[in-house]
Chain A
Amino acid sequence: MSDGGRESEREPEKPARQKRAGGDELARAASRLAVAQICESQGFQTFQHSALETLSDVAVRYIYDIGKTANFYANLSGRTECNAFDIIQGLEDLGLAQGFLGASDIEHCLANSGTVKELVQYVDEAEKIPFAYSLPQFPVAIDRKLTPSFLQIGEEPPGEHIPAWLPAFPDPSTYAPSSSRIERSTEPPTAKIDQESRNRKVERSLLNLHQRLACSGLEGPSVVNHGDATKAKQAVGSNPFLAAPLQFGEKEVSPVLLPAKVKLLNEATMRNPSMENHGRDNHVSVLEALAPDIEAMEIRLLDSEEKEKEGLLNSRPAVQFKIGIGRKSLGTMHDLSLQKKSFEVTSPWFGRENEKDDKKMRAEKILKESMGHTQELGHL
């Protein structure tokens, strides 16, 4: 009893595996088993894998062929259900290659057919070996849970063109995009919330900045574009000062600080290859000479900020650098020029006043110092 129970227990595993692999997997495994048992009864003790597979494949195809032929004969007689004679005829058809007794008789009664006689012979002689496992009925038909129709739910279909007997629409929450602007789907919800608040802060600061710039007349009527890099670029093409601010939704970043410096740094260090600045090369050649100096300071500065800032800056258009006395101009957006014609290292762009003013002050100081160096080196 325990053996039988164990054996039958193994069967449930197979259907589970089989559902994934397809309906045939279980059947093939079972046929392999059956064929192996038959071979064993004939005296074979071991099998080559490929040989066993081939033979089981042959057996399966034989069954299939018998079924097909028998069905064919039944249909020929105008029936849909096969009977024994159809099968016998099928057997004859398939056995013609091998030959059986009385194959050449054209008018023999089917019941007398040589194939049947051979079968009878076999049944009498062979020992009965039952199949080792108890197979369940397969393939198992899965009950589909149909989506209820509008009528069944009691809902009104949204729109006159939708009849009520159609299945209802899925819950909007399943397909509506999430409200988070940042495309970080793997973050836990709490982190998302933090980001959201940070985004809002950033947005607010940006807006302030925009207002201020607008007042100063240097900022055009740019809109805060969320995730619209192309638009910004277009705007930049026409008028660098009218460029839309960066898509701040992309990077979790406080407003830009020292874009020129950062750009320079990035170019020098080749940290972000994905920048799209045209005509930077000239800058690089000049500035590379003085890069180490600036780098050291900038790295320190940058690290204190976030990496995203670089990213933010990277997506901005080319920077025009003007090597000269550091001009502390609030609200100058020098870095928004796509066409750069000269090597100019603009003064650091301290235009954006934000909550990190103290850092900016620090940056300015450092820049001034570096600018001093730059001027010296620039002559080289």
Chain B
Amino acid sequence: MNHNQQPGDGTHEDDAALSDFLASLMDYTPTIPDELVEHYLAKSGFQCPDVRLQCKARQAAVVKDKRDKQQKDKRLILTMEDLSRALREYGVNVKHQEYFADSPSTGMDPASRDE
């Protein structure tokens, strides 16, 4: 609970764990390429010699996002509906403009829709 009890040892352990983790990142090849991450970090003003942690974090976040999608068919299709639902949990509001003839329940309140 209270990490301050043994600041020396505790932090040392944590630091060690962290540094180990960071070292392990060297081997890891994230799916999101380094150049891409570097590009966007440069845009935001981020200055850091290594960005591996970023890539990892990003990928983890996306995967988490992914996992939240509901499974509809055997053949998984990433649809806007599922995506918007999952993103809403993360606080991202993507309301997709529905076309008229998509489904009979087009235009109805999503909460009242029968899923």
B-binding residues in A (CB < 8 A): 27, 30-31, 34-35, 37-39, 41-48, 50-52, 54-55, 58-60, 62-68, 70-71, 74, 80-84, 87-88, 91, 97-98, 107-109, 111-112, 115-116, 118-120, 122-123, 126, 128-131, 133, 135-139
Within 8 A of A (CB), among B56-82: 56-67, 69, 75-80, 82
A-binding residues in B (CB < 8 A): 2-4, 10-11, 14-15, 17-18, 21-22, 24-25, 28-33, 35-37, 39-49, 53-54, 56-67, 69, 75-80, 82-84, 87, 89-92, 94, 96
- Cβ contacts under 8 Å, B44 to chain A: 63-68, 71
> Does A97 contact B65, Cβ atoms closer than 8 Å?
no
User: What's the nearest-Cβ distance from chain A to residue B105, in Å?
Assistant: 18
In the complex, A80→B45 CA distance in Å? 10
> Does A47 contact B78, Cβ atoms closer than 8 Å?
yes
- Cβ contacts under 8 Å, B42 to chain A: 67
User: What's the nearest-Cβ distance from chain A to residue B28, in Å?
Assistant: 6
What are 28 contact pairs spanning A and B, CB under 8 A? A30-B33, A34-B31, A34-B36, A38-B31, A38-B32, A38-B66, A39-B66, A46-B76, A48-B79, A50-B80, A51-B78, A54-B80, A67-B41, A67-B46, A67-B54, A74-B47, A83-B48, A111-B15, A111-B17, A115-B57, A119-B21, A119-B57, A122-B56, A126-B59, A126-B60, A131-B31, A131-B33, A135-B35
- Cβ contacts under 8 Å, A63 to chain B: 32, 36-37, 40-41, 44, 54, 58
Knowing that A58-B62, A119-B53 touch, tell me 18 more A-B residue pairs with CB under 8 angstroms.
A27-B36, A27-B39, A42-B63, A55-B83, A58-B92, A59-B62, A65-B44, A66-B58, A67-B41, A71-B46, A74-B47, A81-B49, A111-B17, A119-B57, A123-B25, A128-B29, A135-B35, A136-B35
User: What's the nearest-Cβ distance from chain A to residue B22, in Å?
Assistant: 6
> Does A82 contact B89, Cβ atoms closer than 8 Å?
no
> Does A51 contact B75, Cβ atoms closer than 8 Å?
no
- Cβ contacts under 8 Å, B31 to chain A: 34, 37-38, 41, 129-131
Interface of A is mostly: helix
> Does A38 contact B36, Cβ atoms closer than 8 Å?
no
- Cβ contacts under 8 Å, A51 to chain B: 78-80, 82-83
Q: Select one of B21, B32, B58, B77 contacting A45, CB under 8 A.
A: B77
> Does B36 contact A66, Cβ atoms closer than 8 Å?
no
Q: Select one of A71, A88, A109, A119 contacting B10, CB under 8 A.
A: A109
> Does B45 contact A98, Cβ atoms closer than 8 Å?
no
Given contacts A58-B92, A107-B4, A119-B60, A64 and B77 within 8 Å (CB-CB)? no
> Does B18 contact A62, Cβ atoms closer than 8 Å?
no
Given contacts A38-B31, A68-B45, A123-B28, A111 and B18 within 8 Å (CB-CB)? yes
Given contacts A48-B79, A68-B44, A82-B48, A87 and B29 within 8 Å (CB-CB)? no
In the complex, A196→B22 CA distance in Å? 78
User: What's the nearest-Cβ distance from chain A to residue B93, in Å?
Assistant: 11
User: What's the nearest-Cβ distance from chain A to residue B9, in Å?
Assistant: 12
> Does A34 contact B89, Cβ atoms closer than 8 Å?
no
Chain A residue with Cβ nearest B25: A123
Q: Select one of B40, B65, B77, B83 contacting A60, CB under 8 A.
A: B40
- Cβ contacts under 8 Å, A43 to chain B: 76
Chain B residue with Cβ nearest A97: B91
> Does A67 contact B45, Cβ atoms closer than 8 Å?
yes
Give the interface centre of B36, B37, B83 by most chain A CB atoms within 10 Å. B36
In the complex, A187→B89 CA distance in Å? 66
> Does B56 contact A46, Cβ atoms closer than 8 Å?
no
In the complex, A303→B30 CA distance in Å? 78
